[in-house]
Amino acid sequence: MVSRVLGTALQTGGDFAEVFAEDKRSSSGRLDDGKIEELGSGRDRGAGIRVVVGDTTGFAHTADLSEPGLLAAAAGACARWPSPSRRSRRSRC
């Protein structure tokens, strides 16, 4: 799946692309004089995609780690750049 996501980023004109994904769970507890005062849990989940074209970098992030979600983020990393008429010939996204 990651190779397809990177392929999508590069197909839109990127010279280089990378994906960083994280799915982390955490738990915590706080005691006061041996008594439970607070319990907590959390989850950090998401992915960032960076696409580089020449001297320009585009970035997108998503909480959707499915293939369609990552593919949309890969396309979005390039979509944030100026219209083709305002980019240099080197930038192809």
Q: Which residues pair with 57 in a beta bridge?
A: 52
Is pLDDT above 90 for 61? yes
Q: Rounded to an integer, what is the distance from CA 5 to the centroid of its chain? A: 11
pTM (2 d.p.): 0.68
Q: What is the pLDDT of residue 82?
A: 54
Q: Which residues pair with 32 in a beta bridge?
A: 35
Q: What is the pLDDT of residue 39?
A: 95
pLDDT in tens, 13-40: 778 999 999 999 999 999 999 999 999 9
